[in-house]
Amino acid sequence: MPQTTRAQQRERTRRTLLDVSRELFASQGYAAVGLAEIVEAADVTKGALYHHFASKAALFRAVLTEVQEEVGERVAAAAEERKDPWERLAAGCQEFITAATHPDIQRIMLIDGPAVLGWHEWRAMDESSSARHLAEELGDLVERGVIAPQPVIPLAHLLSGAMNEAALWLAASGSPDDLADTRAALSRMLGALRVH
């Protein structure tokens, strides 16, 4: 059996810290989780944690980055299943709403993300991931004449904000019909953008 290298061991420790922290942050919220709880659950020392992450906030930022990447991958996969550019946009937006209804994603990405990192850093992270892709898709649709000519960046921010707000509302919702109603409202809102 091959020996585990130090690099593999470090990566395994880092992966364990991320996995354990994600579970704790999702179930309890960032503020309720202490570093002592994280290192105990991960079965590592505080020194090992600080070797990988400068602070609890840095660890949270790494967890948030992974969550955003996972949501982005789901959105991209849903969009790529469609050939028509309009249908790609609609499918991606609908998948974002669906993915964001998962309590772990809501807590980490939409509730604690802006609170822990601050609005500006959270927005910058969102901008570099999903918001950038949304703006690219909208720009493509404007160029194709599917959406009326207009500045794309304000439109992307408005649409992104609406979807984030809908996801937060769904987090507090108790009705099983609210997801279907939200998806239908999103379809109508997107449909209003389309040139007929």
Write the pLDDT tens digit of every residue in 10-68: 999 999 999 999 999 999 999 999 999 999 999 999 999 999 999 999 999 999 999 99
Residue 80 within a domain: yes
Above 60 in pLDDT, residue 1?
A: no
Q: Are residues 81 and 154 in the same domain?
A: yes
Pick 73 or 129 by higher pLDDT.
73
CB 106 within 8 A of CB 165: no
Mean per-residue pLDDT for 164-187? Answer: 89
3-state secondary structure of 108: helix
44 with 70, same domain: the answer is no
pLDDT, mean of residues 142-168: 94
Other C-beta atoms closer than 10 Å to the C-beta of 38 total 21
95-112 pLDDT tens trace? 999 998 888 998 999 899
Question: What pLDDT score was predicted for residue 24?
Answer: 97
Residue 60 lies in a domain: no
Q: Give the count of domains, the chain.
A: 2
Judgement on whether residues 75 and 46 belong to the same structural domain of the protein: no
Q: Do residues 167 and 85 both lie within one domain?
A: yes
Residue 180 is assigned to a structural domain of this protein: yes
Give the domain extent around 88.
65-191
Identify the pLDDT of residue 2: 59
Residue 58 lies in a domain: no
Cβ contacts of 161-170, under 8 Å, gap ≥ 24:
162/186, 162/189, 163/93, 163/96, 163/97, 163/100, 164/100, 164/110, 166/97, 167/96, 167/97, 167/100, 167/101, 167/106, 167/110, 168/106, 168/110, 168/111, 170/97, 170/100, 170/101, 170/106
Determine, yes or no, domain membership for 196: no
Region 78-83: what's the mean pLDDT? Answer: 95
State the pLDDT at residue 3: 67
117 inside domain: yes
Statement to judge: residues 120 and 47 lie in one domain: no
Percent of the chain with pLDDT over 70: 98
**Domain CATH code at residue 30:** 1.10.10.60
More confident residue, 6 or 159: 159
| Structure tokens given for 61 | 């930022």
Confidence of residue 6 (pLDDT cuts 50, 70, 90): confident
- Shared domain for 73 and 38, answered yes or no, is no
- For residues 125 and 170, membership in a common domain is answered with yes
CATH at residue 185: 1.10.357.10
Whether 39 and 69 map to the same domain: the answer is: no
Within a domain: residue 59? no
State yes or no: pLDDT of 118 exceeds 70.
yes
Q: How many CB atoms lie within 10 A of CB 97?
A: 20
Question: Does residue 169 share a domain with residue 78?
Answer: yes
In the predicted structure, residue 122 carries a pLDDT above the cut 80: yes
Rounded to an integer, what distance in angstroms lies between the CA atom of residue 182 and that of residue 188?
10
Q: Identify the DSSP state of 194.
A: B
Both 182 and 92 in one domain: the answer is yes
Structural domain includes residue 47: yes
The residues, ordered by sequence, that sit 6+ positions from 29 with a Cβ below 8 Å of its Cβ are 107, 111, 112
Boundary residue ending a domain (29, 53, 77)? 53
160 versus 3: the higher-pLDDT residue is 160
Residues in Cβ contact with 177 at an 8 Å cutoff, skipping those fewer than 6 apart: none
Residues 78 and 165 in one domain: yes
pLDDT at 159: 95
CB 179 within 8 A of CB 132: no
Same domain, 128 and 100: yes
Quote the pLDDT of residue 100: 87
> pLDDT tens-digit profile of 12-22?
999 999 999 99
